Amino acid sequence: MTFTSTDPNMLNDWLTVGPVPSLQGCSQAAPRTTRLLGATVALWADASGTPQARLGDASGAALRVEAHYGYLWVCPSGQPVRPLFTLPEYAEPARRLVDCAGFGVAVSPLRIVENFLDMAHFPYVHTNYFGTTADTEVAEYRVNIDDNTGEIWANECRFPQPKASAAASGGVMAAYRYRVMQPCTAMLYKTCVHRADELDGICLFVQPVDDEHAIGHVLLLYFEDELSDAEMISFQHMIFAQDKPILENHVIKRLPLDMKLETPTRADAMSVTYRRWLKNRGQTFGVLPPAESSRP
Ligand SMILES: [Fe+2]
């Protein structure tokens, strides 16, 4: 079966299909298979180590695939309208680059990105880590869309956190910056425990399996010399395990773009901007069709 979505926002962009090391031991005859936009995709590296991809159906049609930032990116149509986003922090030698493996979630990929942008859930979902129920207010912050890249940025975000990361030994007022690069990719910059003048980075590359299923790939770009990879990964797994049931319990699996359906508040400025940004792009993949969104 070929791709089930006709949304050019997805077909003509770069979509992740997992980390590059997942190709180890794979060949054209014995590829790794995964799912993307409702289709099976076969992946392997050729003799020179260059990643290759094809549709897993009878057509076996070749797909355009590239490796960037430790991950594989497929352009389903083969005709990307723009290059992949930039990630200069990936090349900074002082940062630890840690792939935290993928988390499967039965919900629209766009819901995962929106949840990632939502600070209001910290005290309730990540209690005693990213917030406490005694302090639930989200302070005002600034959101803008970059004229040159079209990316969403949120600046001057802050939240009091008892344990902001695996290495944190006490509470801090954590500073955040958020960035949405594509409908299914976002990252945040956050107060670094070890370096007051730097921000750690967390990337969320969501693999759009289909309209209501996704794999969230998490890449850490941390200034961290003490913790092991396993300790850093297990902290992220613990946090994501708190988000997963919340995400999967959405009655509406797809993201409604009609604000009337899920009333946003001032604290949801990023969510409002993200939904409007998707609507302006004419996003149809992973969203609730307008007819259903406008139901009373
Ligand atoms: Fe969360």
CATH number of the structural domain spanning residue 247: 3.90.380.10
**How many whole angstroms from 177 Cα to the centroid of ligand 1?**
15
Around ion ligand 1, which residues have CB less than 5 A away?
Answer: 243
| DSSP characters over 113-155 | HHHHT-GGGHHHHSBTTTBBTTB-PPPP-EEEE-TTT--EEEE
Dump pLDDT digits (tens) for 94-128.
Answer: 999 999 999 999 999 999 999 999 988 888 888 88
Domain presence at residue 197: yes
Domain presence at residue 285: no
Dump pLDDT digits (tens) for 250-260.
Answer: 999 999 988 77
91: left (phi over 0), alpha (psi -120 to 50) or beta: alpha
Whether 34 and 129 map to the same domain: the answer is no
Dump pLDDT digits (tens) for 223-251.
Answer: 998 999 999 999 999 999 999 999 999 99
**How many whole angstroms from 124 Cα to the centroid of ligand 1?**
9
**How many whole angstroms from 159 Cα to the centroid of ligand 1?**
13
Domain that holds residue 123: 88-280
Whether 66 and 105 map to the same domain: the answer is no
**How many whole angstroms from 240 Cα to the centroid of ligand 1?**
7
Whether 128 and 235 map to the same domain: the answer is yes
Amino acid occupying residue 168: A
Whether 70 and 92 map to the same domain: the answer is no
Domain presence at residue 149: yes
Radius of gyration of the chain (CA): 19
- Top-confidence residue, 132 or 190: 190
pTM: 0.93
Band the pLDDT of 293: cuts 50, 70, 90.
low
> Residue 160 gets which letter from DSSP?
E
Domain presence at residue 125: yes
In the structure encoding, which two tokens stand for residue 15, read together?
A: 């979509």
For residue 56, the domain's CATH number is 2.20.25.680
**How many whole angstroms from 95 Cα to the centroid of ligand 1?**
23
Q: Quote the number of domains for the chain.
A: 2
**How many whole angstroms from 293 Cα to the centroid of ligand 1?**
25
Lowest mean pLDDT among 31-35, 53-57, 60-64, 155-159: 155-159
For the chain, percent of residues with pLDDT exceeding 70: 95
Whether 22 and 148 map to the same domain: the answer is no
Whether 68 and 120 map to the same domain: the answer is no
**How many whole angstroms from 55 Cα to the centroid of ligand 1?**
33
Domain presence at residue 290: no
Give the three-class secondary structure for 147. Answer: coil
Average pLDDT, the chain: 92
Region 180-191 average pLDDT: 96
